[in-house]
Amino acid sequence: MEHSTVKTITDRARARGAYLHVLPGSPADKLSTLDAIAEALSFPDWFGRNLDALYDCLTDLSWLPRGEHVLLWQGSDALKQADPRGYLAIRSVLSDAERALAPDGGSPDSRRLTLALADD
């Protein structure tokens, strides 16, 4: 996971040829954040709007092109301050999915997920 500015994250992702998906930091509750992630990554209609379904979708990504997908979460502090437990739960799922799709994580295809948190 990267902690940096939006411009730095964007520049690095583009330089690697990664697909950038932006998650605005405005959602301040768990369900709205799940919906924002689903929208940012174009989740299929069957997304169940819970943490298990989030993990299932994040470790699949078969509807997206092969390659690295960077999920840029701007202002994640809004959720962290409003719902610390919800924030930690979502961060945990995102981290687990990121590890599962890492080159040595055993993923059967070439899709990868990188979570990047923007400070501004």
Query: Does the predicted model carry a pTM greater than 0.85?
Result: yes
Q: Is the pLDDT of residue 3 over 60?
A: no
What top-level class would CATH report for the domain 2-118?
alpha beta
Q: Can you tell me the mean pLDDT for 2-13?
A: 80
* Interatomic CA distance for residues 34 and 54, integer angstroms: 7
Query: Tens of pLDDT along 58-84?
Result: 999 999 999 999 999 988 888 999 999
pLDDT value at residue 91: 95
Query: Tens of pLDDT along 87-119?
Result: 999 999 999 999 998 876 555 568 999 999 885
> Where along the chain do its domains lie?
2-118
List the beta strands (DSSP E) in the chain.
2-4, 19-23, 67-74, 111-118
